[in-house]
Chain A
Amino acid sequence: MTGSTLGRSLGRARKRLLEDARGRNGRLLAVGTALALLAPLALTAYALDIVMQLFVAILVVGSWIFVAGYFGMFTFAHAALYGVGAYAAVLLVAEAGVNPIASILLGGVVAGLFSLPIAYPVLRLSGAYVGMVTLAYAEIIYRATILLREITGGPTGYTGFPHLFDGDSVAMYYFVLFVVAALMLVMYVLLVNRFGLVARAIRESPDAARMLGNDVSRHKLIGFVVGSSIAGVAGALQAYSILIISPPMLEIERMIEFMAMGIIGGLRTLSGGVFGVVVVFGLNELLRDYGEMRLVVWGAMLVVVTLYFPDGIADSDFDVRERLAGGDVPVRERIREAIGR
């Protein structure tokens, strides 16, 4: 990208951001940011930990939406690549003496590299086939982390982490917040620009996008690798914030959890993903004492949302007050529509 096009892109992103900020989502974002910045004043270390994991989940789900929602590449390999990022970061520090902060970025790079072998088949496949081939790849990586016990510590996982910031949890919190916010902004800027428009064109009709002169394969490849790398960074952040990594981090169950968050919130926008993560996290905390009951609720939510809210519960006409007031409520309309059909 040349200097002037970069300048123009940023200008356009800034304009979109300002437009968004004037809307309801902007106010929600402002309130959310203020809460996130002030949280360490009010929360215990334990609560802060949970919020940190919420941020990491926002980044993973955001990066999944980047790939699955915008490009329509419905990947199941995201949790596995998130795990690869975590293992890579920690092993680089332990085995190669890399600086821990740099290792977080490198975790993303390694996850990006790991996404390449599957990226090429994904470019040529569509719809459910993408899901199948990425699911198989995720299982291979997951089983490899269990089998390669000399490197990964096997099924029990890997500990022996360096503490970041001498174990200062508030500093760690702000660091995670900063990295997550920065990467979400990177994705946002990409998506409100030409790149994002092409992505959506590819999702709607690859052939039409190609005929308009876009290099579809290149866009999909970049989208897939960038999204996967960001998942890798998120994995590395998670590793340093919980100080243990083990194979369950890469399991298909984790993937389903991230997918559920994205789908419940809405795959069409990054903010939908954020909303979904907050809702599912809140639900998990509410139902903490009921064990598997929360999975029952989630499974049902996944079904109901896909059936009645194809764009998630946070689609573009989302408005808390309107919905709470019960006036001209989009939710009810949608349900009525769905039942009428």
Chain B
Amino acid sequence: MVSLELLAQQFVNGLFFGGQLALIAIGLTLIWGVARVLNFSHGAMFMVGGFVGYYTLGATGSVLLASVLAVVVVFALGYVIEHSLLEPMRDREEFDIASMVVTLGLAIFLENAILVGVGSQRKSFPLLTDVVWNVAGLTISAQRLVIFVISLVALGLLFLVITGTKLGLAIRAVSQDSDTALLMGVRPKRVYSITFGASAALAGLAGVLLAPMFSVYPSVGWYPFLLAFIVVMVGGLGSVRGTLVAALGLAVVRSISMIWIASETAMMVLFAIMVGVLVVNPDGIGGWLDG
């Protein structure tokens, strides 16, 4: 018999993990929603963020500086990638497949270029704090709580930008109808590049924040990418709200199911859920939430 404490503990762990997952997944959903790109290099952006953070931390000792620099560098990288690789193909009929292949090629290129450059050994990243609280029988690590809060703040900022600023208005306009937006004086190309940069920057930030748990190495991005991939499919590609709900929900399901089954099996269950959702409704749960 599973004790109530264990269930509650797994629930909390799942919720925390869901916040981290949302940080990675929302970038993925954003860039699909706005620019119709299924970005296979999202995991590579996570990895680059981790490396920038790792070296900055080594040189300066400041986690804050490491995070800020990772966000800035990965934003710039994302902007350049969109502008130079994806923009030239935009008018192609099979743009969604072509962009998938290009970003996949880019991910292989980045991962292995870094592998050749610095080797495959895992670089460990120090914990911000090793404080652990005991609340009503639950173990809560301060580190995870801080990351959860930072994730929510970053996502909150993103929401504010999208709903409350001129740039956000332009992003929403382009995602709905880029031709009409162009007529209204919005430059869709700029918007695509900025959105891609912002999406990548979220992954880069996650790369630094999660580095203490995942450590830093060239192929570190694939597992978070796969999880985020499942989350956005279930949440509905392009739906920020659906993705947030799916991230929290799936992370809790995964966490609780791991009381009984191994993590490999849990991953299979998640993939099966994803196939099921896609078969029933390709728009995911976001289709209901936004509709």
Contact = CB atoms under 8 A, between A and B. Distances in A.
Interface of A: 72, 74, 118, 120-121, 124-125, 127-129, 131-133, 135-137, 139-140, 143-144, 146-147, 256, 259-260, 263, 291-293, 295-296, 298-303, 306-307, 310, 338, 341
Q: Is the interface of A mostly helix, strand, loop or mixed?
A: helix
B112 A295 contact: yes
- Rank and list the top 6 A-B pairs by shortest CB-CB distance, nearest first: A302-B105, A299-B109, A299-B108, A295-B112, A303-B105, A128-B96
B100 A131 contact: yes
Contacts of B291: none
A307 B97 contact: no
B127 to A, nearest CB: 30
Contact of B97 (A74, A118, A121, A146): A74
A301 B105 contact: yes
Given A74-B97, A133-B278, A263-B101, A299 B112 contact: yes
Given A256-B104, A293-B116, A299 B110 contact: yes
A143 B105 contact: no
Given A136-B230, A147-B264, A307-B88, A300 B97 contact: no
Contact of B102 (A74, A259, A260, A306): A306
Interface string B96-139: 11101110111111111101100000000000000000000000
Interface residues of B, number: 40
Contacts of A146: 264
A125 B278 contact: yes
Contacts, number: 121
Contacts of A303: 85, 102, 105-106, 109
Nearest to B44: A299
Given A144-B268, A296-B113, A299-B110, A259 B101 contact: yes
Contact of A338 (B88, B274, B282): B88
10 contacts: A146-B264, A292-B112, A295-B115, A296-B112, A296-B116, A298-B105, A299-B106, A299-B108, A300-B109, A302-B104
A182 B107 CA distance: 36
B89 interface: yes
Given A131-B38, A140-B272, A292-B112, A299 B105 contact: yes
B74 to A, nearest CB: 18
B38 A128 contact: yes
